[in-house]
Amino acid sequence: MKALVTGASSGIGRDLAIELSEKGYDLILVSRNKEKLQEVASKIKTNTKVIAMNLEDEENCKKLYEDLKEESIDILINNAGFGLKGEFVNADLDKEIRMIKTNVTAVHILTKLFLRDMVKRDKGIILNVASIAGFMPGPLMSTYYSTKAYVVRLTEAIKEELKHKKSNVQISILCPGPVDTNFNKVSGADFKVKSLSSKYVAKYTVKKMLKGKFIIIPGFGTKALKPLAKIIPDNIIMKFVYKVH
C-alpha cells in the first residue's frame, strides 16, 4: 500500500503521513523543503521517498505525476497550500497568484491525473484538503476562502461523477477549522477561536477517510459551522468572519 502526500513537511500533511505509516502505508512525501521532509521521513516506520518540489509550477505537477504514475498510488492527499490575511485591495498580488496556483491549480492537476489511473484500476482514494472556509465568504482572507471553495465544489462534483460511473474509487474532502500549524504564521492569521492540534486532525481524518467518509470535519464546533453557513444569511456570516480575523 502506498500513499502520496503533498505539503508533507509540517502540520497536517506531516501528521497525516505519520498516521498513514502507522497503518502500514509506504509514503511518498512532497514539499518544497527537502530538509524538513527528511526530518519527517526519519519519524516514519514504513518505506519513504521524499521529493522536494514547488507545486506552484504546473509543469512540476505534471512531472510529479509522470515520475510516479508507475507506482500505483493507493492514496493521494492534496494538502499543499497556504493562506494570506489582509484586505483584498491591499493584499500582495504576486502572493495571491502563487496561492491560487498552489491551492487550486496543483490540486486540479494532480487530482485529474491520478484519478484517471485510479478509475482504470477501479480502486484508490483521493483526499483533497480544503477548509471550513470553503463553505462561506471570507473578508480579510478573501482569496484563500475562494480557493478552498473551488476545492470543495470540485471534489463534490467528482464524487457525483464517480457515483454515476459506479466506480469503486473514493474521493473525500477534509474541511477543518483553525489548526495549530505553521499556516497561521505564513498567512498572518490570528484566529480568535481555539485551534485543534494537527495530530488530532490527522488521526481523526485518516480514521474517517479509511471508513469512506466524504466530508470530514474535525471538531464539534467546526462541524456546527457547516449547517449554520447554509441557513444564516451571507451578510451576517461575513460580519462574523470579519470579526474572527
Catalytic residue numbers read 144
Radius of gyration of the chain (CA): 17
Residue 53: count of CB within 10 angstroms of its CB: 19
Supply the DSSP string of 24-71, one letter for each residue.
T-EEEEEES-HHHHHHHHTT-SS-EEEEE--TTSHHHHHHHHHHHGGG
Residue 168 corresponds to which amino acid? Answer: N
Please tell me the distance from the alpha carbon of residue 152 to that of residue 242, in angstroms, as a whole number: 21
Burial code (b: 16+ CB inside 10 Å, e: under 16) for 27-42 equals bbbbbbeeebbeebbe
Please tell me the distance from the alpha carbon of residue 235 to that of residue 182, in angstroms, as a whole number: 30
Length of the chain as a residue count: 245
3-state secondary structure of 83: coil
Please tell me the distance from the alpha carbon of residue 48 to that of residue 101, in angstroms, as a whole number: 27
Q: Are 153 and 105 contacting, i.e. CB atoms less than 8 angstroms apart?
A: no
